[in-house]
Amino acid sequence: MAKKSKKLKKMVMSTLATSVLAATVAGSTFAAAPPDHSNAGGKKAPSVEAQVKPIIKIGQREFKDLNANGKLDRYEDWRLPTKMRVADLLPRMSMEEKAGIMQITSLGRDSEVMNDYVNNRHIRFVIIRDNPTAEALATRANSYQKIAEATPLGIPLVFTSNPRNHINEQNQFGISEASGQFSTWPGTLGLAATGDIDLIRDFAEIARDEWRASGIQKSYGYQIETATEPRWRRISGTFGEDPTLNAEIARELVLGFQGEELSSKSIAQTIKHFPGDGAVLNGLDPHNEEGQFAVYPTEGSLYKYQLPPFQAAIDAGASSVMSYYNLPKNEGSAVQLPKELWYSETQQFEEVAGAYNKKIITDLLRGEMGFTGYVNSDSGVLTNMDYGVQNLSIEEKFAKAIDAGTNIFSDNNDPSGLISAVNKGLVDEKDLDPSVSLLLTEMFNLGLFEDPYTNPAEAQSIADSAEYQARADEAHLKSVTLLRNNENMLPLTNEKVATTKLYVEVFAGNNSAARTTALKDLIKKEEPSLTIVDTLEEANSALVMLRPTAYENKVDIHAPVDIKLGTNTGINVERVKEIENKVPTALVINMNNPWVIDEVEPGAAAVVATYNVKGEALLDVLRGRFNPTGKLPITVPANQEAVDKNASDVPGYAETYDYTYTNSVGDDYTFGFGLSYEE
């Protein structure tokens, strides 16, 4: 009897489920939905705000009449599953509208340009490149969302940005254009150096709150790729060289920014650059033609070192993945892929950039790794970074990239090439639908069809949160890494300070004098009891800070990027050695690359590594108010010869020769090394 009862119950539940599904498909609302005054058994009512289109009220529930036809269409009904809403909206869109939504471009300079982008080019994804306040961001975003709401289908905008929450010494287009308007954290290497996963999760959740309040819904970040070539100048935007730590961080970033699933509180992540931009020939930057080649000389390195962080982000639900610029080079690469992923019987890789590489995007990323979101190309792949497809027409490039699995094209504000590709028969209009469906899915899940607007005053209040900055300041402190202190110069206790006459100098290329003045002023403000002297002759100790910059030779493809401290990298090595020979010197190195430091490290009395850190946090560590806990997220090479011999696809700690710098007391400056004052 019990078995019969269970069977009957199962039949009843199955019949009920079928009835509900039929009712759902039959109309725009659930026939068996709960009462309109209640959320019980249904979706919780979201915030709904319209500034142009009418509001439809059903009981106490509100819906936006996005196409202003006076009735509730399925894509307007937030109670329905996203898949059903997408299926309703997609056939309402023209081919031109589909082509437009597959482009993401830098924000128009004014409302006239944005009107053109939205109404004539049908663009809905835009990238913010400037650095206004949170209030100004929100105000502008609201004004542009009104333009989008006024269009026939009312499809909202998605505002995107590169990272905005880190100390950024030089804003760079396409890398990091903004800093200082939200809570300010150390660089990404600094976050990794903390080793504090809970803190990194808090960072992601705080940044999410700040961004979403300011009208930003999508991030071009983070760079979760493993830093394996020490000369690659984008190491400063990564989390270092350990794939295990990177994978752990990648998971926390996705969950922190997005949540367990996308919602009206989320920032959709576009993790980058798949399958790992760091394995570049001689460290040359793929933004430039001479740096276009990715090489994998070590068998199995792709799966062992490059892919784990991406797999972790995918498993956590990353909404989007950005493909790399690189052209994977067969010559010089060992076996990386299983035979079924080879381009041909004789070629492991198709030698075309990531956005055009079907084996990498469709077969590896989607097929093997299980990614179900959308693929965002990097900027400029249709123009000057079209590696391997330079001879194709614009229509052919669109066709090849879409066939490869690319869904949206970065920094392109002209969809006419894609429209032409459809008109010429190179792309079938139905081939646009999978991409557009994925993009619309993200929009719906982010809640933008219901309420894309934000409160500018509230946005500024969140950005100014003292509580958020206090958590960021903790990260600054925890990132500072003590590498050597065998002469017990640090910490500078009150007793030591009483007799200290400190000479201060910063080495930062052409900015050395200005940075020296700024550091002196900060010390005078924060540490008034500490005597600062103007000449080395007056001093009995010194604080020397090195802020090098990688030098890239863009003329000779075989010339390595210079990361050895010297003239090219902005450091006067002879002057540093002169100071060290004269007085005991605390040497602070901004380790945003694994610099070759063998000439300046031995003469210092103490050595500290930072990763774009606030000066106040550094002083707290130097004075002993905070006991250093940071650990190296990268391995420091022994010398230039070690750099020259490195395998571009293997982390420093895994090199098979004597790669690592060893100091005078026998400590290796390898990944994970760091001292405290008790040691």
Active site residue ranges? 378
Residue with structure tokens 């995107």?
160
Q: Give the span between the Cα atoms of 210 and 462, in whole angstroms.
A: 6
Structure-block tokens of residue 641: 């010869």
- 229: closest CA among 165, 304, 279? 279
Q: Give the span between the Cα atoms of 430 and 477, in whole angstroms.
A: 54
Q: Give the span between the Cα atoms of 539 and 550, in whole angstroms.
A: 31
Q: Give the span between the Cα atoms of 266 and 249, in whole angstroms.
A: 18
Q: Give the span between the Cα atoms of 407 and 422, in whole angstroms.
A: 15
DSSP 27-72: SSS-TTPPPTT--TTSPPPPP---SSS-EEEETTEEEE-TT-SSS-
CA distances from residue 471 to 23, 197, 331, 538 in whole angstroms, order as listed:
50, 13, 48, 39
Report the alpha-carbon angle 104-53-34, nearest 5.
100
Q: Give the span between the Cα atoms of 241 and 105, in whole angstroms.
A: 31
Structure-block tokens of residue 442: 């993200």
Q: Give the span between the Cα atoms of 678 and 630, in whole angstroms.
A: 14
Q: Give the span between the Cα atoms of 409 and 377, in whole angstroms.
A: 5
CA distances from residue 343 to 281, 358, 401 in whole angstroms, order as listed:
21, 9, 16
DSSP 378: P
Q: Give the span between the Cα atoms of 273 and 223, in whole angstroms.
A: 7
